[in-house]
Chain A
Amino acid sequence: MADQERRSFIGKVFGGFAAAGGLAALYAMKRTWDPLPSVMAAGFTTVDLSPMKPGELRTVTWRGKPIFILKKPPTDNCKKLPDEPKKRLVKIGDSDYLIVIGLCTHLGCIPTWEPDKKIFHCACHGGEYDACGVDTFGPPPRPLDIPPFKIEGTKLVLGEEGPEYLKLVGKA
């Protein structure tokens, strides 16, 4: 009887130890599925805004999407939000910036910035957005989307949700 118990105790230890090994292997498998470090690093794009000139548009790629950064957009053309153009702009340093995902909210084409008309114009189906990224003409159903970002001094980190971003999209 005592013999049997001891065997079953050893059996349990054996089983438990084997299960621990199995768990460790599962962990390794889970990690193998994880995105690679290089992929994770590429998911956070840091942009230095200090060399930008007013009215200049920069396009950076973040997570496979183009991001438009426009310094001091000509807000006199923000027709749809006359009282609150600031709501779609963020202050970094001493000037306002427009930071939007550069994909037309209609069908995902990439609009172009036309400085003389102060609009984003989508060549695919003629959609137009004002200088605040708000849709003003054509098929787009909503303004250009705002990507999550964080501000670090004069640097912009795309991919992290900073307090300025949360305020902009109304989550804070």
Chain B
Amino acid sequence: MAHFTKANSIYEWLDQRLALTKLWKVLAAEYWIPKNINFLWAMGVVLMTMFTILVISGIFLLMYYKPDTKLAFDSVNYTIMQEVWFGWLWRHMHAVAASVVFLVIYIHMFTAIYYASYKRGRELIWISGMLLFVTFSAEAFSGYMLPWGQMSYWAAQVITNLFGGIPFIGDELVIWIRGNFYVSDPTLTRFFMLHVFLLPLIILMLIGLHFYTLRIPHVNNQDGEDIDFDAEAEKYKAGLKKEAKVIPFWPVFLSKDFFVVSVFMIFYFYLVFYHYDFAMDPINFDPANPMKTPPHIYPEWYFLWSYEVLRGFFFDVGPLSAMDMGLIAFGIANVIFFFLPWFDKNDEVAPAHRRGGFFIWFWLLVFDMIILTIWGKLPPTGFNAYIGYVAAVGFLALFAALPALTARRRGLLMLVIITTLLLFIVGYMVYAETMESGIIVALLFLLFYALFFLSPVVVKRVGGAK
């Protein structure tokens, strides 16, 4: 039994029962962050802010939204947008935040890749972060259906159709997910449930897990330096604040984050009020019409890169159709980042500009994903089809090459590069119709995938090179 005495204040009374002082120390005042950081380290708090905005605006949208195919469109576009006081503001904030949050997620993610914050004890931070990415994607997809506009409907129709590519159970799975043979009322109501309850609940739990995974390995720093947090914290507490390599989460770290968040809010609210078309596609202001397909169907911008990996394969290979090839690559693309800590075979924790080949690899990846994103929106006709193919194969090739690159296995690296270049060449010949997609193409892909799957298993991990 704990010791209770007469409390002299409400705080003291609460402190005796809830240990508030200790809790505040553990969570904030003595939670240590490296001092050697830049504003990219504020993206976590920016994300937390965006998520809060999404939850709050979502609550008010929920008060008037009606999850029924006959009512949904008008409840959003008439009731919320034109009648409810500030309804339009919540709607714009929700839609724009849902889009912008992915921009911040991508920056957060590529910061972690650049500074090697996904390995040497930080694997679970990375994995819980990727789980958050996947859940956010599902949350965004389910939310996009709710206004029941043309793009809501057709994006849902196309994306749920993708599950039809899974062998044996595909067709039934699609019907099962939709609750009907086509996207319709049961689909809307079940995605509504997912969007407003189940997925946010999972996201909240994952955010807790993500924070928790940070506690033992601690936050990384700009130089990948291995800091003795206990010793540095003692220094700080002893008053050597300038000499200590750490700062407390509150108020030092957060004071900088608040500045970054405030500046980010200027950008965000500019988009909310004056530049929202990228997040609220005009086509979605046409009510859903199962009898009329819009001229161009594309997903929201943050899904475009993986969508383009799916579309990039435009010819059959061996027994697999172009669609199957695309689905395989698409499936891989959606999970490959989870395995990054095991594709990187070097234990060294350092920023990319000090890791030689990895620096080039990083910028190739960024470049490739931008190309995939842009070409994911362009109609896949003419030469665009070949560019999509190169970018899609290139994306997989970057991961196939990573084990050899990081473990400095030159021979293996050359093999991956040559195979990839050959795939580019045969792809062009098939595109230009100077060659049939035959046994040679099939063998090349077989070799490519063998390298892709075997390298991370076979290549031995190497220690941090000095």
Interface residues of A (CB under 8 A from B): 33-36, 39, 43, 63-66, 103, 107-110, 159
The 8 closest A-B pairs by CB, nearest first: A108-B293, A63-B181, A64-B182, A43-B181, A64-B290, A39-B180, A108-B292, A35-B179
Q: List the B residue with the shortest CB-CB distance to A39.
A: B180
Q: How far is the CB of A146 from chain B (nearest CB, A)?
A: 16
Chain A residues with CB below 8 A from B290, complex form = 64-65
Q: Roughly how many angstroms separate A39 CA and B294 CA in the complex, as a whole number? A: 26
Give the contacts of B166-180 with A (CB-CB under 8 A).
175-180
Q: Whole-angstrom distance between the alpha carbons of A103 and B184 in the complex?
A: 18
Contact residues in B for A33 (Cβ distance below 8 Å): 176-177, 179, 190
A3 to chain B minimum Cβ distance, whole angstroms, is: 32
Chain A nearest CB from B190 CB (Å) reads 7
Interface centre among A33, A35, A64, A65 (most CB of B within 10 A): A35
Q: List 26 A-B contacts (CB under 8 A).
A: A33-B177, A33-B179, A33-B190, A34-B179, A35-B176, A35-B178, A35-B179, A35-B181, A35-B186, A36-B186, A39-B179, A39-B180, A39-B181, A39-B186, A43-B180, A64-B181, A64-B290, A65-B290, A65-B291, A103-B291, A103-B293, A107-B293, A107-B294, A108-B293, A110-B291, A159-B181
Contact yes or no, B291 A66, CB < 8 A? yes
Assuming A109-B292, A110-B291, what are 19 further A-B pairs, CB within 8 angstroms? A33-B176, A34-B176, A34-B179, A35-B175, A35-B178, A35-B179, A35-B180, A36-B186, A39-B180, A39-B181, A39-B186, A64-B182, A64-B184, A65-B182, A65-B291, A103-B293, A107-B293, A108-B291, A159-B181
The CA of A63 and the CA of B290, in the complex, are separated in Å by: 10
Chain B residues with CB under 8 Å of A109's CB are 291-292
Interface centre among A34, A108, A159 (most CB of B within 10 A): A108
Q: Is B295 in the interface zone, CB < 8 Å from A? A: yes
Give Cα A21–Cα B322 distance, bound, in whole angstroms.
43
Interface residues of B (CB under 8 A from A): 175-182, 184, 186, 190, 290-295
Measured between beta carbons, the chain B residues less than 8 angstroms from A63 are 181-182
A residues near B175, Cβ cutoff 8 Å: 35
Q: How far is the CA of A39 from the CA of B175 in the complex (A)?
A: 10
Nearest-CB distance from B163 to chain A (Å)?
Answer: 13
Nearest to B187 among chain A residues (CB) is A35
CA gap between A65 and B291 in the complex, in Å: 7
Taking the closest CB of chain A, its distance from the CB of B20, in whole angstroms, is: 38
A56 to B108: give the CA distance in the assembly, Å: 63
Residues of A within 8 A of B182 (CB): 63-65
Bound CA span A15–B294, Å? 53
Q: For A34, what are the chain B residues with a Cβ–Cβ distance below 8 Å? A: 176, 179
Determine how close the nearest CB of chain A comes to the CB of B172; give it in whole angstroms.
10
Task: Give bound CA distance, A39 to B186, whole Å.
Answer: 10
Complex contacts, A159 vs chain B, CB 8 Å: 181
Nearest CB of chain B from residue A105's CB, rounded to whole Å: 10
- Complex Cα distance, B157 from A65, in Å, reads 13
Task: Kindly provide the distance from the CB of B244 to the nearest chain A CB, expressed in whole angstroms.
Answer: 50
A159 to B171 alpha-carbon distance, docked (Å): 12
Min CB–CB distance A65 → chain B (angstroms): 8
How distant is the Cα of A39 from the Cα of B178 in the complex, in angstroms?
Answer: 11
**Nearest CB of chain A from residue B287's CB, rounded to whole Å:** 15
* Complex CA distance for A110 and B292, rounded to whole angstroms: 8
| CB atoms of B292 and A107 under 8 A apart | yes
B179 / chain A contacts, CB cutoff of 8 Å: 33-36, 39
Q: How far is the CB of B192 from chain A (nearest CB, A)?
A: 14
CB-CB under 8 A from A36, the residues of chain B are 179, 186
**Chain B residues near A110 (CB-CB < 8 A):** 291
Complex-state Cα separation, A159 to B182, whole angstroms: 13
A107 to B292, CA, bound (A): 6
Q: In the bound complex, how far is the Cα of B181 from the Cα of A64, in angstroms?
A: 8
